[in-house]
A and B are shown apart, each in its own frame.
Chain A
Amino acid sequence: MKIGILLKEGPYNHQASDTAYKFAEAAIKKGHTVDAVFLYNDGVTNVTKHMDPPQDDRDIAGRWNELKQKHGVEVLACIAASKRRGISDEVIIEGGEITGLGTLTDIAIRNDRLVTFGD
């Protein structure tokens, strides 16, 4: 099954990023394709590359990077939401990409499921 994920909340403040990640991980483990994680609202701040959490805390941006590199999951930040929040190509992780809401529409159309996480 092909699954798209919509993540609407920033990292750390809320558990949404963690649940989305755990869900994606479990879906991949069960043999599903996680096509993309689309970041909207404050969710776009999930892919800022200067995140530097304490060593004993999870590295949320790093985790998304890994999901892209190991499993080919596109990690896409909405351009309109990003511009509002000062997120640009210069500040995002290598595995992330900034794209338009049209891409989210394509994700909604081409996948069997769109699962949303947020506050």
Chain B
Amino acid sequence: MLHTINKSPFENTTLETCVRFVQPDDPILFIEDGVYAVQANNRFAALVGDTLKSNPVYALQPDLDARGIADITEGVVAVDYEGFVELVEEHQVNSWL
């Protein structure tokens, strides 16, 4: 199951909630305001780093670019919309709106 998160972790608990439910190896993709979670050295870097030990973590490149985020937490993979589609090819989707 691919989990998408579209909320900034600074004003919404979606990320913290989602990681309680995610099964090992399931990919997490940050989109829209969700991408603020993966900015390097922010308050959520440790949580994202921990999650990376059991799950692949992706962030949508156009959303990172739109928000001026160039430096992302090590291990997080940036993908474009086609990369998003490729993740959907491999997995059912659970959007954590």
Query: Considering the complex, which residues of chain B in the window 32-67 have a beta carbon less than 8 Å from any beta carbon of chain A?
Result: 32-33, 62
Stretch of A20-28, A49-57, A67-75, A99-107 on the interface side? A20-28
Given contacts A26-B85, A113-B88, contact A19 B31 (CB under 8 A): yes
Q: Which residues of A contact B89 (CB under 8 A)?
A: 1, 32
B97 & A23 in contact (Cβ 8 Å cutoff): no
Query: Considering the complex, which residues of chain A in the window 1-49 have a beta carbon less than 8 Å from any beta carbon of chain B?
Result: 1, 3, 8, 15-16, 19, 22-23, 25-27, 29-30, 32
* Alpha-carbon distance between A115 and B92 when the two chains are bound, in angstroms: 8
Q: How many residues of A contact B (CB 8 A)?
A: 21
Q: Which residues of B contact A22 (CB under 8 A)?
A: 62, 81
14 contacts between A and B (CB under 8 A): A15-B32, A16-B6, A19-B31, A23-B84, A26-B81, A27-B85, A27-B88, A30-B85, A32-B89, A113-B88, A113-B92, A116-B95, A118-B95, A118-B97
Query: Considering the complex, which residues of chain B in the window 74-97 have a beta carbon less than 8 Å from any beta carbon of chain A?
Result: 80-82, 84-86, 88-89, 92-93, 95, 97
Q: Which residues of B contact A32 (CB under 8 A)?
A: 85, 89
Seen from chain B, the residues whose Cβ lies within 8 Å of a Cβ on chain A are 6, 31-33, 62, 80-82, 84-86, 88-89, 92-93, 95, 97
Given contacts A22-B62, A22-B81, A113-B88, 10 further A-B contacts (CB under 8 A): A1-B89, A16-B32, A23-B84, A23-B85, A27-B88, A113-B93, A115-B88, A115-B95, A117-B95, A119-B97
A114 & B93 in contact (Cβ 8 Å cutoff): yes
Q: Which residue of B lies closest to A31 (CB)?
A: B85
* Alpha-carbon distance between A3 and B86 when the two chains are bound, in angstroms: 12
Q: Which residues of A contact B88 (CB under 8 A)?
A: 3, 27, 113, 115
Q: Which residue of A lies closest to B81 (CB)?
A: A26
B33 to chain A, nearest CB (A): 8
Q: Which residues of B contact A113 (CB under 8 A)?
A: 88, 92-93
* Alpha-carbon distance between A115 and B86 when the two chains are bound, in angstroms: 13
